[in-house]
Amino acid sequence: MQRTQLKLWVACVSSSFLLLLGCGGGSNDSPPRAAVQGTVLLDDVPLEAGVINFIPTGATKGPMTTAPIQAGKFSLPDDLGPLVGTHRVEIESCDLGGLALDDESAIQRLKQQKVKHIKVIKIPAVYNRQSQLQADIQADADNQLGYRLTTKRSK
């Protein structure tokens, strides 16, 4: 397994774990949060595994919120959801070509079949570190979001 794939997998697992821990204890002083749910399609196909980050921008101040994406869907309840306000959205894939990192038998099968590369889904930087995707999260609203990403360049 390539070092970059391992780093991406560790980042995705770590982000998901931190999400489960939550940020803060929900005190009355904390900024208001809201539930959010939605879908992520990559080339019109649900993104198998990934993370979506909500990064506060403008007048919205506070911590980033991360949600895991499974089978193209993400969902967070209001106590773990993003802060109410405007966010820049980053989407990352956690796909490792359908293989688990600790699946030694799969690695052996690939070697026997002389497979040198597995297809790893990579989301273009325009949807993550260079993202201009936005989300306006509102209190007591549906906050149903949908993102259609494409790996093909527009001409």
Over residues 57-99, the pLDDT tens digits come to 999 999 999 999 999 999 999 999 999 999 999 999 886 555 5
Give the burial class of 43: count Cβ atoms within 10 A of its Cβ; 0-12 exposed, 13-18 middle, 19 or more buried: exposed
pLDDT tens for residues 90-124? Answer: 999 886 555 555 666 766 776 777 776 666 668 89
For residues 70 and 13, the answer to whether their CB atoms sit within 8 Å is no
Residue 27 CA to residue 135 CA, distance in Å, equals 24
CATH code, 3-24+34-148: 2.60.40
Closest CA to 50 of 76, 73, 84: 73
User: How many helices and strands, by DSSP H and E, does the chain display?
Assistant: 2, 8
pTM of the model: 0.71
Per-residue pLDDT at 95: 65
Question: What are the beta bridge partners of residue 137?
Answer: 85
CA angle (23 as vertex; 22, 26 as ends), nearest 5: 95
- How many C-beta neighbours within 10 Å does residue 102 have? 8
Q: Please give the structure tokens belonging to residue 107.
A: 């690695």
